[in-house]
Amino acid sequence: MKLLYSLTSPYARKVRIVAAEKRIAIDLEQVVLADANCTVPQHNPLGKIPVLIMDDGESLYDSSVIVDYLDQRTPVSHLIPQDTKSKFQVKRWESLADGVCDAGIAVMVEQRRPENLQDPSWINKQWSKVERGLQVLNDDLGQNRFCVADTFSLADIALVCVLGYLDLRFGSKLDLDDRYPNLARLNASLASRPSIAETEPPKA
Ligand SMILES: N[C@@H](CCC(=O)N[C@@H](CS)C(=O)NCC(=O)O)C(=O)O
């Protein structure tokens, strides 16, 4: 199996962390989506990463499908709980964390356009999704040790990925420690876990 990814993609990082936690060996191929000859659209018509190319040439996307597949591939340390209630709590955390990523990326893309073409109301709308999403995640986490059912899961992984991405792109604008202290605490406590430390995005 081969994963098409980039070092800064939070969705691809989620897959890399899950593969490491599950001890599933995957070849990694870094891609540059902006390259004219980038092969991603041949494997994912949406032209997005991550894409997992299976040994028979079939491909899987998006990241939530890939992590579900990897989690079911081996019974070793399930990251998506078997119990239905916890399973859908974990999936909701993942959806919200990924949705916050989507909004953060939308802000970054807009801010990279020439200043006179940027739409401040679009930026504000997307940024308010980031802030509302983080607030709900922070409140849901409360003083708990992990996001769901007192156990390390895909929810914690998705959280670490969105926080890593927002830190990379927006740094102190996020004000994580003061505004979302519960998220900051869990993020710090997971930082030295090998699967997480080894996939940290490079500072721009
Ligand atoms: N929902 C998708 C999102 C994937 C995504 O947006 N990836 C970004 C890179 S971080 C991308 O490929 N962007 C290129 C594009 O949107 O054309 C997933 O979870 O895999």
127 and 109 in contact (C-beta within 8 Å)? no
**Distance between Cα 89 and ligand 1 center (Å):** 23
Residues 111 and 163 in one domain: yes
Residue 109 has pLDDT above 80, yes or no: yes
**Domain count across the chain:** 2
CA distances from 131 to 136, 174, 176, 178 (A): 9, 8, 10, 13
Domain membership of residue 36 as a residue range: 2-73
Residues 65 and 94 in one domain: no
Residues 138 and 166 in one domain: yes
For residue 46, the ligand 1 atom closest to its alpha carbon is 17
Residues 23 and 63 in one domain: yes
155 and 187 in contact (C-beta within 8 Å)? no
Residues 62 and 154 in one domain: no
For residues 77-103, average pLDDT: 97
Q: Which DSSP symbol is given to 200?
A: P
How many C-alpha atoms does 174 have within 13 Å on its Cβ side? 24
Specify if 201 maps to a domain. no
Residue 24 has pLDDT above 90, yes or no: yes
Residue 204 has pLDDT above 70, yes or no: no
Determine whether the shortest distance from the Cβ of 89 to ligand 1 is under 6 A.
no
**Distance between Cα 48 and ligand 1 center (Å):** 4
> What's the pLDDT at 128?
98
DSSP H helices in the chain: 10-21, 40-43, 63-73, 84-111, 120-141, 154-170, 176-179, 181-190, 194-197
Check which CATH number belongs to the domain holding 107 and give it.
Answer: 1.20.1050.10
Residues 101 and 34 in one domain: no
Residues 100 and 148 in one domain: yes
Name the token pair of 54.
């299976």
Residues 58 and 96 in one domain: no
Q: How many CB atoms lie within 10 A of CB 171?
A: 12
**Distance between Cα 76 and ligand 1 center (Å):** 28
**Distance between Cα 143 and ligand 1 center (Å):** 32
> Where residue 172 falls among pLDDT bands split at 50, 70, 90?
confident
Residues 16 and 68 in one domain: yes
> Where residue 104 falls among pLDDT bands split at 50, 70, 90?
very high
Specify if 79 maps to a domain. no
- Average the pLDDT over each of 70-79, 98-107, 138-147, 189-198 and give the range with the smallest value: 70-79
CA pair distance 195, 96, nearest whole angstrom: 22
CA pair distance 80, 92, nearest whole angstrom: 11
Residues 64 and 97 in one domain: no
